[in-house]
Amino acid sequence: MKKNTLAICEAGIMIALSTVLAMLKLIDMPYGGSVTFAQMLPILIFAYRHGPKYGMGAALTASVIQLLLGMENFSYLPLVTWYSVIVLALLDYVVAYSAFGIVGFLKKKMSYTSAMLTGAGIASFVRYICHVV
């Protein structure tokens, strides 16, 4: 019970830190999106520390918060239908951000540095593919 409480409290702190880092934009793109400084690093660290179950949960929660904060990006859809909005929400936010919980699966297989680098690379690639599609 104590570990669950500690993990949930740490998840809240890391999600809040990730949200603040998302607001510090280095480059703001004209059709939505931006380049941020280490936005998903707190989620990567949390996922490594607490494993895939808590890591995917924190990444999913952070993705829903980013979805709510990025609602103006839906105005850039060329044809607004209910399924285009759902696909945009899933691919641009939920799946793309939740991919950073993958690092939790690498915890017991690699050292800290190699798990973070490999997990960040895989998650960034998955996020890139989601944004392109």
pLDDT digits (tens, 9 = 90+) for 18-45: 999 988 988 888 776 788 888 889 999 9
pLDDT > 70: what percent of the chain? 98
pTM: 0.85
* Cα(103)–Cα(114) distance, integer angstroms: 10
Q: How far is CA 32 from CA 12, 14, 76, in A?
A: 26, 24, 7
Residue 59's pLDDT band, with cuts at 50, 70 and 90, is very high
Rounded CA-CA distance 70/73 in Å is 6
pLDDT band at 82 (very low <50, low <70, confident <90, very high): confident
